[in-house]
Amino acid sequence: MHASVSRCFSKYPLAKDTAYKRFSCIYQAHSQYGPVAMGEHYNLLLQVDLASLSVGQEIDEGILTVKDGETALHWVTSKAYYQASQNILSINP
């Protein structure tokens, strides 16, 4: 799975006209390998993938600059990390 995702990053740089393809490639790799490979936060990671697809589409359409897209992606991943951390704390107090 990691090799598949790495190929997505190298094949499709985070740039206008390739951003959506990049995140689509990553989403497909994650979906293909499924929850066993992705671990207990599979559903959360797929939500991050879907949010990334939206950001990629906005970059490609010129709604967001690459820099603004990177900021949005950072926010999405930070929020997901926080949510995952809260779920772990509630399971293991």
Output the DSSP codes for 60-78.
HTTSS-HHHHHHHHHHHHH
Residue 83 vs residue 32, higher pLDDT: 32
Give the model's pLDDT for residue 26.
Answer: 93
The predicted-structure confidence for 66-79, as pLDDT tens digits, reads as follows 999 999 999 988 88
Tell me which amino acid residue 15 is.
A
Tell if the pTM clears 0.85, that is, is over it. Answer: no
